[in-house]
Amino acid sequence: MADCGGASAVTSPTLHALVMEARQRLVTAGIHFGHGTTNADDEAAWLVLWKLGEPLDLDLAAHGDRPLSPTQVEAALAVVEERIRTRKPAAYLTGEVWLQGVAFHVDERVIVPRSLIAELIAAAPQADELDPWLSPHTHRVLDLCTGNGSLAVLAAMAWPDVQVDASDISTDALAVAACNVQRHGLRDRIRLLHSDGWRGLTDRYDLIVCNPPYVNRASMATLPPEYRAEPALALDGGEDGMDFVRHLLAHALEHMTDEAVLVLEIGHERVHFERAFPTLPVVWLRTSAGADSVVLITREALALAQDDLPPDPHPAP
């Protein structure tokens, strides 16, 4: 007799069978990944283990034959179906995401953190990409466009002697960031500031990190539903993706100490970045995505190119 739907396709209610069923449903539905996982296998395991209250690093090879009750199967498949129906990133359903092995609260008030700068910060004390550019006097760090505060938290963890300011235009994002600062016991080292870009900031910093809105207008129009579920304010960089970056670089010198460096993520927008700032000397930092997604700009390089930089497209009134 044909299966007319409505019942679970898991014939053997074991943990492994349930994860495999969840994986197949995600694949069949054409789900897009990129918010904490990159494939259906990992996302299926994440959703199932989270819903069942199991450790997310559980060894399925060793424990996958564990029998499950029909109630457990139904509950886990329900969250998988919610993921498919809503096309929301899994992190919005679980309320949690990991960046460089560190857990962060996340919800629909902020984008799901996935910045490549996190790799550089986490590796900095031991690696050669970022650490050589930092001065022994690097004590003040700014995370501009902080979102849920993840880069600020990682910076405070990586460099125990620094003080971190974390700013954002969104008060909703800052509320989420406050949860993460408190969660990791860093309220005495991370200060949250409300600012529209540089507007509202007056201090100077030794290191500035920024994962700004940089998606160009054409790409915004073709984003998968999972990305459209995130706040557009944190993604939309204008016609060529460089609107906020122009504002950033137009005023960065005013906020950099003598030996300061600026680390900026631009994702897939290198062509637009180089077209917008053709005379600006930058260093491309290598990450897991290659060497064309994150740039480092010294204060000296920015000063040399200052007269050639495009004006701020949204100057203060």
Which pLDDT tens digit goes with each residue over 249-298? Answer: 999 999 999 999 999 999 999 999 999 999 999 999 999 999 999 999 99
Measured distance CA(235)–CA(276) in Å, rounded: 18
Q: Tell me: domain 100-308, CATH 3.40.50.300, correct? A: no
Q: Where are the alpha helices (DSSP H) in 146-233?
A: 150-158, 171-183, 217-221, 225-228
Helix and strand numbers, DSSP H then E, in the chain: 13, 9
Task: Give per-residue pLDDT as tens, 225-254.
Answer: 999 999 999 999 999 999 999 999 999 999
pLDDT reported for residue 242: 98
Q: Residue 127 above 80 pLDDT?
A: no
pLDDT reported for residue 6: 43
CA distance between the termini of the chain: 71
Q: Which residues of the chain does CATH 3.40.50.150 include? A: 100-308
pLDDT reported for residue 56: 92
Kindly state the percentage of the chain with pLDDT values over 90: 89
Q: Which amino acid is at 161?
A: D
pLDDT reported for residue 315: 77
Q: Residue 7 above 50 pLDDT?
A: no
